[in-house]
Chain A
C-alpha cells in the first residue's frame, strides 16, 4: 500500500535518517574501536547519561547564552552599520577595510587574539559576533539597495512619513536578504563559538566539556556533545527564523 501523499516526506525523512544511522553503525563496526569511533548506541547511552547531570545543563545554558548574545549583538550592530552605510557612502567606504578584514582573518586568529585581550569568559560572545557581523552588514546593505526606487520617488512626491516608508518599502526589501544571511550565519555562529570554547575552555561551556572528552578519550561523550550542539543549533535557527517571520 502506498502511503498518503501528506505523510510521504516524513516517511521518506525517517528512511533517510535510518539509512545514515545504519552507515554510522557500519562505520563504527568497521573501525571496531569504540575509543576511536563511537557507535550510535554508545552515543545515545552517553547522551542519556549526560542529560540528568546538572553540569550538562549548565554547559548547555552557558554556551547557548553566550552564542545567542553574540548573535544578537551582531544582528543589532550589523543592522545599524548597514543602514548607516546605505545612507552614507563615506560611511560605507570607511567601514569597507574593516569588513574585509573581518571576512578574511581566520577565525582561529580571532579566537587567540580575543583570548589574549579579554580572556576566555566572554570568548564565545565575541567570536560569534565577529563571525556573524559581516554577514548581517552585507545583507542589510544589499537588501536596502534592492528597494524599489520608483516607490521611493512616489513616497517623496506624496510626502509619506519616513517611518511608513521604512516599514512599507525598505522592510519588505530587506527581510529576504536578512533571513538568508541569518540562516547561514546561525550555523556559523555555533561552529565558531564552540571552536572558541574548545580552545579557551571557559567554565560551564560545551567546548570545555568537549575538551575534557578529548583528554579522557571519551569518544562517545564527544559524540553526545556534538549531537547536543547540532540540536541546539537547529532549535536556535528555527526560533530566530520564526521570530523574523513575524516581522515580515
Chain B
C-alpha cells in the first residue's frame, strides 16, 4: 500500500514547518529525505509514525511501521540480542536473532549490555532492530549518525539486504555518501 500525505500543515509556536505539504511514498520504494537541520525531518517522521499530531493533514493509514528514532532508544542494561527480541520476541528466535545481528556487529558484542558498546554499535543495534521487527514500512531518522564512511556503507548494504520488499524512508544530511544506492530523494 502506498503512503499518501496530503495537505500537511504544521507549525511549532509561530514557526511554520509545513505548509500544505504533500508526499506519496510508493509501496516498496526506497527514499532518502534531506533538509537543512531544523526544517522538520524528525517532525515528518514522527507524524508518519503517529507520535505527533499535525495541525492538519490527511495521511493514509493502516500500515505497520518500524523505525530508527532520533535517539537510539535502547533498553538499559540489555544486550543487542535482547533489544531485538523485545520487538519480535520468543525464545525460539534467539539463534536466528544472533545470526542476523552478527552480520552488523562483532560477535563478542552481541551478549554485552548496550552501555558497554560504542555509540556507533548502539546505533547499528537500533538499525538492526527496525529491520528485524515486523512491518510494512521502515522509517529511519538519521540512522548513520556517528558511523564512519566505511561502516556507513556496510550498514547500508545490511539495510538493503534486509528491508525485504518494505518501503524504506531514511533521513540524512550525508546525501553525497549515498549516491550509489539508487535512493529517490525527497527534499523539504
Where the two chains meet, the residues of A that have a C-beta atom closer than 8 Å to any C-beta of B are 148, 150-151, 153-154, 156-160, 164, 168-169, 172
Q: A153-B51, A157-B51 are in contact. Are A172 and B65 (CB under 8 A)?
A: no
B residues in contact with A156, CB < 8 Å: 50-51
A157 contacts B67, CB within 8 Å?
A: yes
B75 CB contact (under 8 Å) in A151, A153, A159: A151
Report the minimal beta-carbon distance from B176 to chain A, rounded to whole angstroms.
30
B residues in contact with A153, CB < 8 Å: 49, 51, 69, 73
| Secondary structure call for the B interface | loop
- Tell me which residues from 85 to 141 in chain B have a Cβ below 8 Å from any Cβ of chain A: 86-87, 89, 133, 135
Q: A153-B51, A168-B75, A172-B76 are in contact. Are A160 and B64 (CB under 8 A)?
A: no
- Tell me which residues from 41 to 77 in chain B have a Cβ below 8 Å from any Cβ of chain A: 49-51, 64-67, 69, 71, 73, 75-77
| Secondary structure call for the A interface | helix
A158 contacts B77, CB within 8 Å?
A: no
Q: With the chains together, A164 CA to B135 CA distance in Å?
A: 19
Q: With the chains together, A169 CA to B65 CA distance in Å?
A: 20
A residues in contact with B89, CB < 8 Å: 164
A159 contacts B64, CB within 8 Å?
A: yes
Q: With the chains together, A168 CA to B65 CA distance in Å?
A: 21
Q: Which residue of B lies closest to A158 (CB)?
A: B87
Report the minimal beta-carbon distance from B137 to chain A, rounded to whole angstroms.
11
B86 contacts A168, CB within 8 Å?
A: yes
B76 contacts A150, CB within 8 Å?
A: no
Given A157-B51, A169-B75; 15 other pairs, CB 8 A cutoff: A148-B73, A150-B71, A151-B73, A153-B49, A154-B67, A154-B73, A156-B50, A156-B51, A157-B50, A157-B65, A157-B66, A158-B67, A158-B133, A160-B87, A172-B75
B residues in contact with A150, CB < 8 Å: 69, 71, 73
A residues in contact with B69, CB < 8 Å: 150, 153-154
Q: With the chains together, A159 CA to B67 CA distance in Å?
A: 12
Q: Which residue of A lies closest to B78 (CB)?
A: A168
Q: With the chains together, A108 CA to B168 CA distance in Å?
A: 66
Identify the interface centre among B66, B71, B73, B133: most chain A CB within 10 Å of its CB. B73
A172 CB contact (under 8 Å) in B50, B64, B67, B77: B77
Q: Which residue of B lies closest to A172 (CB)?
A: B76
A residues in contact with B133, CB < 8 Å: 158
B residues in contact with A159, CB < 8 Å: 64
A164 contacts B86, CB within 8 Å?
A: yes
Please list the 10 inter-chain residue pairs (A to B) with the smallest Cβ-Cβ separation, ordered nearest first.
Answer: A158-B87, A154-B73, A150-B73, A157-B49, A158-B133, A153-B51, A168-B75, A157-B67, A157-B65, A151-B73
A residues in contact with B75, CB < 8 Å: 151, 168-169, 172
Q: With the chains together, A151 CA to B133 CA distance in Å?
A: 15
Q: With the chains together, A119 CA to B78 CA distance in Å?
A: 51
Q: With the chains together, A164 CA to B75 CA distance in Å?
A: 12
Report the minimal beta-carbon distance from A157 to chain B, rounded to whole angstroms.
5
Q: With the chains together, A148 CA to B66 CA distance in Å?
A: 19
A160 contacts B86, CB within 8 Å?
A: yes
Report the minimal beta-carbon distance from B123 to chain A, rounded to whole angstroms.
15
List 25 A-B residue pairs with CB atoms under 8 Å apart, sorted by A's residue number.
A148-B73, A148-B76, A150-B71, A151-B73, A151-B75, A153-B51, A153-B69, A153-B73, A154-B67, A154-B69, A154-B73, A156-B50, A157-B49, A157-B65, A158-B66, A158-B87, A158-B133, A160-B87, A164-B86, A164-B89, A168-B75, A168-B78, A168-B86, A172-B76, A172-B77
Q: With the chains together, A150 CA to B74 CA distance in Å?
A: 10
A residues in contact with B50, CB < 8 Å: 156-157
Report the minimal beta-carbon distance from A51 to chain B, rounded to whole angstroms.
45
Report the minimal beta-carbon distance from B44 to chain A, rounded to whole angstroms.
15
